[in-house]
Amino acid sequence: MKGRCFAVIAAGGVGTRMGLPYPKQLARLGATTVIDRSVDLFRGWCERIVVAVPPGMERRFELELGPDVSIVAGGDTRGRSVYLGFRALGSVADEDLIVAHDAARPFWDSSDVRSALALAWEVGAVIYARGVTDTVKEVDGCGDVNRTVPRSRIFLAQTPQIVRGDVLKGVYDALDWDDPKVWDFTDEAGLLERFSKRVRVFPSRGSNTKITYREDLTMMNTRMRIGHGYDVHRYDDSRPLYLCGVEIPEGPGLLGHSDADVALHAIMDALLGAAGWGDIGRWFPDSDSRFQGIRSTALLREVVERLALEGLSVGNLDVTLVAETPRLAPHIDRMRKELGGALNVEPAVVNIKATTTEGLGFVGARQGMAAHAVVLLLG
């Protein structure tokens, strides 16, 4: 491969399907935006990056992307936008490669791009594409199945689409500009096929998803954070036993500054851990008389409210209670309901298990009880 690489990113769509007041390319994606992440894929190995944007929004994209990227006003179709981007590249040599990409595919895995470039240079054009795993049916106008299409030969075209300079220039030169159907294609390969140019499929790694609907962004913007909590309390026969906010009449109770609900303490530590907020000792110190004898459910509600303010909610929770006595199985359903209420989630996402330690250790010696909790926070 002798030529240089140029990227043309089609960002001219206004994305009406997203229902956003601005183009989806500018939507937030984690700490960045869709367009910034897409452009970043081409930094470092493309000599120039041109982004074709909705006309009138050039300045907005310039500010978003910085001075190393050239912005041009796009056209009314994707093909025209890529053409305008291509023109903005200036002089393109026959052996250069033009890499066209959709701004809405920020998750392209570029780890194998060297092979794709070498192949495009050899063949003339290469498109990233995904094979299909579902059975493919061809139907008639009513939707009745005509036949099953062999899926080994079916690929869904994606981007990048990489075309050698001489091939792309040849095609643009040969276009009949007076033909109203001249831009009637949805990807560069479609244009090349019209001129019987050779185009080779290059299987994508991963899904290389195109962001189309608002839900696509919601899914991708969801943070997932895992936390773990562990607590132990010593038995105290003189006190009531509370576990997961539920009073267990059989007892024995547990010794502690609060109600000594060992399960809720482990759960709170898991929640605070997932949020990166330390532990309950820091939040509710046992040196503070306000927490003397307090029901831990009240403390849990405070933690959950704070999480909600940060946009964090419980995805699911798994608790393991470790005790020789009392028998906990009959109380687990009540505990799940109580916890679901305190956490503002369906009881179905709360799991509680009880185990013993086969007579071993402090639990086996019936000195106390332990609890583990693992939680997934979403937000």
Stretch of 113-121, 144-152, 191-199, 257-265 contacting Mg ion, by CB under 5 A:
257-265
Identity of the residue, 231 or 324, whose beta carbon is nearer to Mg ion in the bound complex: 231
What stretches of 93-151 adopt beta strand conformation (E)? Answer: 97-102, 125-131, 136-139, 145-149
**Which residue type, as a one-letter code, is found at position 115?**
S
Q: Which DSSP state fits 168?
A: H
Identity of the residue, 53 or 335, whose beta carbon is nearer to Mg ion in the bound complex: 335
Q: How far is CA 51 from the centre of its chain?
A: 24
Nearest distance, CB of residue 345 and Mg ion, angstroms: 22
Identity of the residue, 164 or 233, whose beta carbon is nearer to Mg ion in the bound complex: 233
Identity of the residue, 352 or 369, whose beta carbon is nearer to Mg ion in the bound complex: 369
Stretch of 129-137, 244-252, 260-268, 333-341 contacting Mg ion, by CB under 5 A:
260-268
Stretch of 59-67, 105-113, 120-128, 265-273 contacting Mg ion, by CB under 5 A:
265-273
Stretch of 22-30, 50-58, 97-105, 228-236 contacting Mg ion, by CB under 5 A:
228-236
Within the chain, how many helices (H) and strands (E) appear?
12, 18
Using CB under 5 A as the binding rule, whether residue 265 contacts Mg ion is answered as yes
Beta bridge partners of 355: 322
Stretch of 68-76, 84-92, 225-233, 354-362 contacting Mg ion, by CB under 5 A:
225-233
**Which residue type, as a one-letter code, is found at position 294?**
I
Using CB under 5 A as the binding rule, whether residue 231 contacts Mg ion is answered as yes
Q: Hey, what are 31's tokens?
A: 């700490």
- Rounded distance, CA 251 to CA 240, Å? 6
Nearest distance, CB of residue 265 and Mg ion, angstroms: 4
Assign residue 66 a region: left if phi > 0, alpha if psi is -120 to 50, beta otherwise? left
Q: Considering CB under 5 A, how many residues would be counted as binding Mg ion?
A: 2
Nearest distance, CB of residue 328 and Mg ion, angstroms: 18
The b-or-e profile of 123-159 (16+ CB within 10 A means b, else e) is: bbbbbbbbeeeeeeeeeeeeeeeeeeeeeeeebebbb
Choose among 222, 218, 204, 16: nearest CA to 107: 204
Nearest distance, CB of residue 372 and Mg ion, angstroms: 13
Nearest distance, CB of residue 332 and Mg ion, angstroms: 20
Identity of the residue, 15 or 229, whose beta carbon is nearer to Mg ion in the bound complex: 229
3-state SS, residue 110:
helix
Nearest distance, CB of residue 256 and Mg ion, angstroms: 6
Binding site for Mg ion (CB under 5 A): 231, 265
